[in-house]
Amino acid sequence: MRNTRRHPGGRYRRGFVSRLTYAFRERQIYLRSEGEVQFITLRPWVQVAVILAFTIGLFWVAYATVNVAFKDQVLALKERNQYRARLEYEDRIGEMRSTIDKLNRRLLLDQKAYLAKVDEVRIEHDRLVDRHQQLSEFFRQGWLPQPKGSTKQLKGSLTPQEVGPGVQTARRTVSPRASDKFTAEFTAPEQALQPLSELRSYMAQMETREAKLLDNVTEYVADRTTRLGKVYRSLGVNADKLAKSSKYKPEAVGGPFIAASATDLGSEVLAQSVSNLSGHLERWETLKFQTTRLPLVRPMDPKYKVSSWFGLRKDPFRKRPAMHSGVDFRGATGSPVHVTAPGTVAKAGWSGGYGKMVEVRHDGGVISRYAHLSIISVRTGQKVKSGDRIGKVGSTGRSTGPHLHYETRVGGRAIDPVRFWKARDVFQEITR
């Protein structure tokens, strides 16, 4: 048997379609005129079109009627809606303007604070320039003397044009404030960056000049150190070996070693310049200190005259030319004899033709000898300071009368003591 079950709503749909089809079934309109009968066939779609046209016309007539009857009310309603919308729009515009005003005031305050900070940094820059000028003047007057009447500016110092407006070299004045210069509100990023650009320019000039000043001082110290080395060589002393073996240490300083870096100084260029200067200064201070360790003074008071100089002379005993390896000072027996530099007593006693002799070892392989003494006041191994009394004049050993035979030796070779005395004046001039 065939399955005759159907969808539950099928009967309703068939009924609706049947009624709709029935309502718009094909109709015929009969017209009778003068005994003749004619008809017009109305198909379903024609009926539907007529009904739709009638419905649309009906709605249009109703809308026009309502529009004409309530025209004033509709216009008033539209005007009220437009007025309300305009008020809301104006309120929004007012709120936006208020917000913009607040932002502008805040930006203005931020601009003032920003320019105030720029002014603070600029004041610090002016102080740095002031300090730089003082250092330049210090080096010019105390370290780098110039010919009398010279107006040449120290290399590395700033000119008024390079320093920037408002900063003078003769007296300190503060440059114009950024807040006075930039009074208009910033409207573009470039305007806000202009104060910083100017400040960076001044700082860059300052950094360059500081580096040049440091390099100039380094060059000066290196030149002085070279001159010291030449004087040492004239005495037969190796300055390099002397600097390496020196026991020089600055007084009352200490702490862990932390090399100066670009972070500390704010610039790699300045860090390198300081490093170079530090190396030259260390060598300079060492060699300068060592000048105080050399026998640069006479062993007796200036009132005691020289009776025989260093060099070739006629031997007082054999009456033949002989080499005199020291300087003789005429003095009465018992006259005091002083050591000419700090050191350690290497010998203190009888030594052949020298008679009673004291030999003192100084830094750099330098030795001083004091011969023909009547009395020795020190002992072997004793540390002595410059000016300490080491004995008294006598006539012991190979001597014709009371006197002091004084020698200076470097590396075992006799050096004219006069060289050391003359070197003293040169050392004082270089290290002044």
Return the pLDDT at 254: 46
Return the pLDDT at 158: 41
Return the pLDDT at 177: 65
Whether residue 371 contacts residue 355, with contact meaning beta carbons closer than 8 Å, is answered with yes
36 or 332, greater pLDDT: 332
194 or 300, greater pLDDT: 300
| Residue 164 identity (one-letter amino acid) | G
| Residue 332 identity (one-letter amino acid) | A
Return the pLDDT at 363: 92
| Total Cβ atoms within 10 A of residue 127 | 13
Of residues 355, 373, 369, the one with CA closest to residue 310 = 369
Max distance between CA atoms of the chain, in angstroms, equals 197
Task: Calculate the CA 214 to chain-centre distance.
Answer: 13
d(Cα 97, Cα 84) in Å, to the nearest integer? 20
* Range 185-192 average pLDDT: 63
Return the pLDDT at 167: 36
157 pLDDT above the threshold of 60: no
Return the pLDDT at 34: 76
368 pLDDT above the threshold of 80: yes
Delineate the domains of the chain, giving CATH numbers in brackets: 13-69 (no CATH), 225-293 (no CATH), 306-417 (2.70.70.10)
* Range 137-153 average pLDDT: 47
Identify the three-state secondary structure at position 355: coil
240 or 317, greater pLDDT: 240
- Considering only 52-56, 77-81, 277-281, 373-377, which range has the smallest mean pLDDT? 77-81
Return the pLDDT at 131: 59
Q: What angle do CA 142, 157, 151 make, to 5 degrees?
A: 70
Span 196-210, pLDDT tens digits: 777 777 777 777 777
- Considering only 65-74, 101-110, 118-127, 341-350, which range has the smallest mean pLDDT? 101-110
Read off the pLDDT band of 392 (50, 70, 90).
very high
42 pLDDT above the threshold of 50: yes
d(Cα 307, Cα 123) in Å, to the nearest integer? 69
186 pLDDT above the threshold of 70: no
312: which strand partners? Answer: 323
Read off the pLDDT band of 429 (50, 70, 90).
confident
Of all residues in the chain, the percent with pLDDT exceeding 70 is 69
* Range 65-88 average pLDDT: 75
222 pLDDT above the threshold of 70: yes
Span 81-137, pLDDT tens digits: 777 888 887 777 777 777 666 665 555 546 666 666 667 667 766 766 665 665 566
429 or 367, greater pLDDT: 367
Return the pLDDT at 149: 41
171 pLDDT above the threshold of 50: no
**For tokens 């320039």, what's the residue?**
129
* Range 287-308 average pLDDT: 92
- Considering only 81-90, 297-306, 319-328, 374-383, which range has the smallest mean pLDDT? 81-90
On average, the pLDDT of the chain sits at: 77
Of all residues in the chain, the percent with pLDDT exceeding 90 is 26
Return the pLDDT at 148: 42
Say what the pTM is. 0.55
Return the pLDDT at 209: 77
Return the pLDDT at 114: 67
395 or 51, greater pLDDT: 395
Return the pLDDT at 151: 39
* Range 262-282 average pLDDT: 71
| Contacts of range 233-238, beta carbons closer than 8 Å, 24 or more positions apart | 234/419, 234/423, 235/294, 235/366, 235/410, 235/415, 235/419, 235/420, 235/423, 236/410, 236/411, 236/413, 236/415, 237/294, 237/364, 237/365, 237/366, 237/410, 238/364
